């Protein structure tokens, strides 16, 4: 199964633009991102498993590296608007219908494909595929045990303790009586963090909850447990969003790091436990202590695959405390690719046993703004007198955007339409209520 495109292709990654046939385009972008072009004999397609911005980024990066791509969406999302979106052939049941991944893949008419999971749930499903199906659909993923050590809050905290890695104090809460371990005054420095972040976010629209005292913690916990969610109590590392650093990359066999990309969060929303709305790529030298911790963790569990680790610098002593490691494609994966580090193509190559090339260099000082979310972040900063409107506007000039790409504009146009339509409806409702 081989995709051939005879039209002229134009693609831009930051300041790098390529014009030519699809073959020329594939060779140039493969050299730009992974250090070596794909052999002409490689025709195995990739299968992006997941939905949302991360899945869209993976789809774009793989396709622009000249790799045929199919998609297995978990929920309907804007990646289905991409020009590169093609559903996995021969599938009647879908992940959106709740069908298990193994059953969907077994029913597919695709002879072979490389899986690229884009969520914790799909990562676990890929890692646990039966051997015969995993041979038909290979992936560059860690063992189920290694995946569990990163995705389970309890196991991750135990691992960090064993390796003596700086991290916030974390306590698994299975019973409200566990809260008695903390003094009432301590709760102002603690927050409730979900064990399953994705389902928690869908239910409450936030990543975590701050608590004020023991009574507040009990009430929050009772409500959350009543809704069927589990949480941990974790120490809050003080400091603004700009103290957050993220190190993304790819590890080959036995935890050997083959790609690294560092970025600094400049704004986030919600202000305490939100997503990045404005960020900048930074040199690895700025995060050297965090790099040492990350390498130690990956080597200890013999990790293999894509990763994105979040650290927060402690302003009082300069220590980088690790908050979490996402063991799969993250939402801004395309930004790393635009800067020069395409981990999706590296994962594809690794799954097929192809060479990965040297540790790729990348451009630092590149900024990205997520427009809709950054407007909310800016409004909060204005209310706190932390940011002037002039400085905010200047930060948008020259910044990339996560949804928009000149060669694949439909997802961004649809996203802008949905946001504008939603904003108009809110204005009309307020106007109607006031009249």
Question: Is CATH 3.30.160 the right assignment for the domain spanning 169-235?
Answer: no
**How does pLDDT run across 53-91, given as a tens digit for each residue?**
999 999 999 998 999 999 998 887 878 889 999 999 988
pLDDT digits (tens, 9 = 90+) for 347-400: 999 999 998 888 889 999 999 999 888 888 888 888 888 888 888 889 999 999
Strand ranges of the sheet holding 231-235, from the earlier edge strand across to the other edge = 170-173, 231-235, 190-194, 209-210
Tell me the C-alpha distance between 233 and 217, whole Å: 9
- Stretch 213-228: mean pLDDT: 84
**Architecture of the domain defined by 8-141:** 3-Layer(aba) Sandwich (3.40)
d(CA 71, CA 82): 11
- Among candidate residues 18, 142, 54, the one with its CA nearest the CA of residue 402: 54
pLDDT tens digits for 257-275?
999 999 999 998 887 777 8
Q: Which of 86, 96, 82, 90 is nearest to 50 (CA)?
A: 96
Query: From the CB of residue 180, how many other CB atoms can be counted at a distance below 10 Å?
Result: 10
Confidence of residue 22 (pLDDT cuts 50, 70, 90): very low
Q: Where are the domains of the chain?
A: 8-141, 169-235, 241-396
Domain 241-396: give its CATH architecture: 2-Layer Sandwich (3.30)
The string of pLDDT tens digits covering residues 117-135 is 998 889 989 999 999 999 9
């Amino acid at each position: 199964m081989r995709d051939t495109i005879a039209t002229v292709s134009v693609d831009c990654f930051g300041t790098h633009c390529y014009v030519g046939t699809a073959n020329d385009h594939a060779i140039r972008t493969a050299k730009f991102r992974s250090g070596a072009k794909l052999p002409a004999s490689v025709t195995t397609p990739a299968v992006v498993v997941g939905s949302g911005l991360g899945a869209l980024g993976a789809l774009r990066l793989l396709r622009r590296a000249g790799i045929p791509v199919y998609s297995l969406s978990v929920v309907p999302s804007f990646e289905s608007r991409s020009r590169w979106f093609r559903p996995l052939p021969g599938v009647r049941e879908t992940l959106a219908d709740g069908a298990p991944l193994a059953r969907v893949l077994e029913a597919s008419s695709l002879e072979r494909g490389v899986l690229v999971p884009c969520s914790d749930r799909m990562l676990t499903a890929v890692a646990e595929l039966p051997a015969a199906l995993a041979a038909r659909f290979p992936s560059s993923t860690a063992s189920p045990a290694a995946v569990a050590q990163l995705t389970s809050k309890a196991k991750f905290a135990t691992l960090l303790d064993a390796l003596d890695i700086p991290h916030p104090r974390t306590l698994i809460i299975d019973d409200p009586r566990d809260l008695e371990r903390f003094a009432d005054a301590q709760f102002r420095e603690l927050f409730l963090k979900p064990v399953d972040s994705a389902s928690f976010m869908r239910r409450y629209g936030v990543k975590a909850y701050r608590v004020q005292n023991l009574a507040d913690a009990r009430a929050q916990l009772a409500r959350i447990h009543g809704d069927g969610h589990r949480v941990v109590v974790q120490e809050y590392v003080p400091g603004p969003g700009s103290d957050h650093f993220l190190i993304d990359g790819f590890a080959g066999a036995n935890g050997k790091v083959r790609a690294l990309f560092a970025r600094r969060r400049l704004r986030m929303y919600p202000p305490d436990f939100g997503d990045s709305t404005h960020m900048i790529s930074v040199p690895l030298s700025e995060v050297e202590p965090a790099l040492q911790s990350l390498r130690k963790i990956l080597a200890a569990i013999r990790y293999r695959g894509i990763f994105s680790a979040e650290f927060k610098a402690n302003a009082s002593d300069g220590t980088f405390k690790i908050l979490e490691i996402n063991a799969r494609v993250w939402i801004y994966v395309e930004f790393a690719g635009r800067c020069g580090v395409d981990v999706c193509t590296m994962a594809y190559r690794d799954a097929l046993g192809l060479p990965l090339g040297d540790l790729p260099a990348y451009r630092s000082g590149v900024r990205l703004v997520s427009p809709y979310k950054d407007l909310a972040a800016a409004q909060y900063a204005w209310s706190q007198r932390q940011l002037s409107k002039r400085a905010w506007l200047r930060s948008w000039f020259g910044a990339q955007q996560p949804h928009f790409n000149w060669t694949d504009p439909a997802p961004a146009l649809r996203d802008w339409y949905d946001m504008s339509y939603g904003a108009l409806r809110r204005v009309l409702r307020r106007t109607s209520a006031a009249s």
